[in-house]
Structure 1
């Protein structure tokens, strides 16, 4: 277990909602020239007949946007921890071309990593008719409310292709602000959260090796850098699968995290429109989604694209807090993270 950080976190990523209301600088808008540059890059990769895995910065040149993308990456990695990008006319393009544009932008922010054992690099967040809470069900496959959680990467990107008929708001909260609240008002929970919990491995849930061998900390710190990793549903599924129970103190600690994340003083809700892109630091931001009602017509149903990226400048993490690389590298292969 890493040493518990017992001081208030004053980093810009430890924001509360009022800070965002005051600053108003977390939303960025693409203008007509930006869209034209993206369109030119798209036409280039289409002429070459490239699929996503063969599109990189060199084949998706963005000479005008590159400097701004670098600034957004700095904000995500070392600043506030997230940006919202608006102004891309997604409905003017085919879904396949929107994927290529989102992928091309993502390559300026980091390296795409796989999102499941099948090796998928572009996630499609839709209701597949699965039931949230099943041991082998990932939340993005349902239309259910998803409690605040993290994903299995450094940076998670979400782009709206189509909205739901009703609901489906995307919410984010600073995990560092949650840590500050716990440190100030419930410090007795910090040892429990820093020790961590066993997690279900979603794709191995029904095998003889269904849970992580080691505990996964909720919070860890090194040299004053605090990071978060949390999916309560996978903690509880691990208990159900192994026939174990959380202690009363563990239950209270997790309840405290959930209640703080849902506190309107701390989190912000986003009603993403087609073309909007939400980009978050997965170690400082917890994200959530409200439940939603979908359209009857298949081609109108809610559809979000998702990227998992390894950042350009990787975050320093505690030894018991191994780096996330999606499903692609052995040191984290046992941890089936993902909303």
Structure 2
């Protein structure tokens, strides 16, 4: 196991000040873009091809498609984050918004399944489940979600509706966290490279329910970092195995968590209806504050989520391996009836 001992450079090692210095990471759709999206939606609706079987030609974006490909490249090799604004969804139905988001996503990467059902277009809303239970995933609740990664190359979130309050999104660079650990506690890196056992939420109440081997937090290949981190699943994995984390393991994870809370490293924003955030899931972590819903449908927070694979392979190390996902388990979409 080779541990990278030099600071990591490049645009992915950003800080809050770096993002504040330029709004280039916040592109806005133009009137021409919106007209092209509306025409693509009309084309797809008339063709009646099932949405989850679309290819780019089924949602034609001759001009905007090139810009979306450039955004994908920026997410992969640049800062690793994009906030795409300018889509007015007020005159679209929920179903049409889903179609638009799915169509845009086809120009950014290859969709991946997000759960054992194989859902390719995820719906993030409070399903009344209790956060912290072994078999509950955070997106099914209204709770605060600590900084974490998902099982994809790129993660996209689109706001369909906001709740009454809360639900603020936050992102932090895993590369900047790595540099902070190297500078202040390099002795923790070996533990983070070796990794930890994770609970498997969908199997937590049956069978073993724990990863077969430790999953590394960090891996570096050719000077490119990959990060995988879900603290709650690490904690639950230790409980499930009956082998508590050691004092030094907890200290390493606590220091990692402390870096995610630094205001000088993270960026926070509230997604407005129609806005879309895309991030490089291998170089960034994301979080969400808790939220409160109202009793009316328009007062209930609802986000659409995409997990995407980059068109060009990411340079993961052999020890880091592939992120676990569910892309082979079907092509389905959950109901909008919430």
| TM category, shorter | over 0.9
Instruction: Work out whether 1:268 is the aligned partner of 2:259.
Output: no
1:278-318 deviation per Cα after TM superposition (whole angstroms, max 9, x unaligned)? 00101001000000111111343000000001111121100
Q: Check conservation: 1:162, 1:300, Cα contact below 8 A.
A: yes
What is the deviation of 1:4? 1.2
After superposing on structure 2, the runs of 4+ consecutive aligned residues of structure 1 that deviate more than 3 Å are none
TM-score (norm 2): 0.95
**Residues of 2 paired with 1:271 and 1:177: CA distance?**
23
Residue matched to 1:337: none
Show the 5 A alignment for 1:48-197.
48-197=47-196
1:232-265 deviation per Cα after TM superposition (whole angstroms, max 9, x unaligned)? 0101111122222001111011111111011101
Q: Check conservation: 1:5, 1:226, Cα contact below 8 A.
A: no
Q: 1:65 to 1:325 in 2, by over 3 A?
A: farther
**Residues of 1 paired with 2:322 and 2:61: CA distance?**
29
Report the RMSD for the aligned CA atoms in angstroms: 1.2
**Residues of 1 paired with 2:83 and 2:310: CA distance?**
17
Residue matched to 2:205: 206
Which runs of 5 or more structure 1 residues have no equivalent in the other structure?
331-339
Residue matched to 2:333: none
Residue matched to 2:44: 45
Q: Check conservation: 1:136, 1:206, Cα contact below 8 A.
A: yes
Residue matched to 2:335: none
Show the 5 A alignment for 1:279-298.
279-298=278-297
**Residues of 2 paired with 1:164 and 1:313: CA distance?**
37
Residue matched to 1:301: 300
Residue matched to 1:256: 255
What is the deviation of 1:58? 1.4
Which runs of 5 or more structure 2 residues have no equivalent in the other structure?
330-338
Q: Check conservation: 2:113, 2:328, Cα contact below 8 A.
A: no
Query: What is the SS of the residue equivalent to 1:133?
Result: coil
**Residues of 2 paired with 1:224 and 1:55: CA distance?**
36
Residue matched to 2:230: 231
**Residues of 1 paired with 2:24 and 2:143: CA distance?**
31
**Residues of 1 paired with 2:238 and 2:158: CA distance?**
33
Q: How many residues are treated as equivalent by the alignment?
A: 329
Query: What is the SS of the residue equivalent to 2:120?
Result: coil
Query: What is the SS of the residue equivalent to 1:91?
Result: coil
Q: Check conservation: 2:112, 2:309, Cα contact below 8 A.
A: yes
Residue matched to 1:10: 9
What is the deviation of 1:329? 5.0
